[in-house]
Chains A and B, each alone.
Chain A
Amino acid sequence: KQEVTQIPAALSVPEGENLVLNCSFTDSAIYNLQWFRQDPGKGLTSLLLIQSSQREQTSGRLNASLDKSSGRSTLYIAASQPGDSATYLCAAYSGSRLTFGEGTQLTVNP
């Protein structure tokens, strides 16, 4: 059974800092890995999808990497802004379903 872990559970940084969020998964036989953002009381917004054959994906200030052999993905946020404050979730797609981590709650302080 796939298990997804995200460390740290919470992170507080000053504005402008570059930061890395970590995601690990136990079953390396994944089709893809997806990163989401969730604002309080809202739904999930898809940020990046990395296919199993890819190493990384980039969108603006976000860069996600995938290392299937070690069961890890990282989300890099460059030049963080207060508007980046949210919970970030990673989810690994294997079998016929997505398995989610519990998320990293990010606070970017002005």
Chain B
Amino acid sequence: NAGVTQTPKFQVLKTGQSMTLQCAQDMNHNSMYWYRQDPGMGLRLIYYSASEGTTDKGEVPNGYNVSRLNKREFSLRLESAAPSQTSVYFCASSEAGGQGSNEQFFGPGTRLTVL
């Protein structure tokens, strides 16, 4: 039982390049989330997927797209990377969104630098 896994662990991009961050969970959770963590800003929600087939914007969605590929996988895409997107990205999952236990479990993170 690996929990939440993310690939890659580290990535360096040039401005304007694109890439996709991958996330998978093996806990049969319905809800999945993408956050970014920046010094002095804390963790902020980028996008989330309450259930398979649905996605919604979080607090800072500009410059990102997501795909809920199936129940296990939720990817985050940067179409044209900018230096402001240099950050640590975390994926998380929970049994359900809304009311209920909603304990969130986090992956190890992807450290992205955009030059």
Contacts and interface: CB of A to CB of B under 8 A. Distances in A.
Contacts of A100: 42-44
B50 A34 contact: no
Contact of A43 (B48, B56, B99, B107): B107
A68 to B, nearest CB: 14
B32 to A, nearest CB: 13
Contacts of B109: 42-43
B104 A43 contact: no
Contacts of A43: 90, 106-109
A44 interface: yes
Interface residues of A, number: 21
A31 B108 contact: no
Given A32-B102, A46-B105, A96-B97, A102 B40 contact: yes
Contact of B103 (A46, A89, A97, A101): A46
A32 B99 CA distance: 8
Interface of A: 31-32, 34, 36, 42-46, 49, 51, 89, 91, 93, 96-98, 100-103
Given A31-B102, A32-B103, A44-B92, 14 more contacts: A43-B90, A43-B108, A46-B105, A46-B106, A51-B101, A96-B50, A97-B48, A97-B58, A98-B33, A98-B45, A100-B43, A100-B44, A102-B41, A102-B42
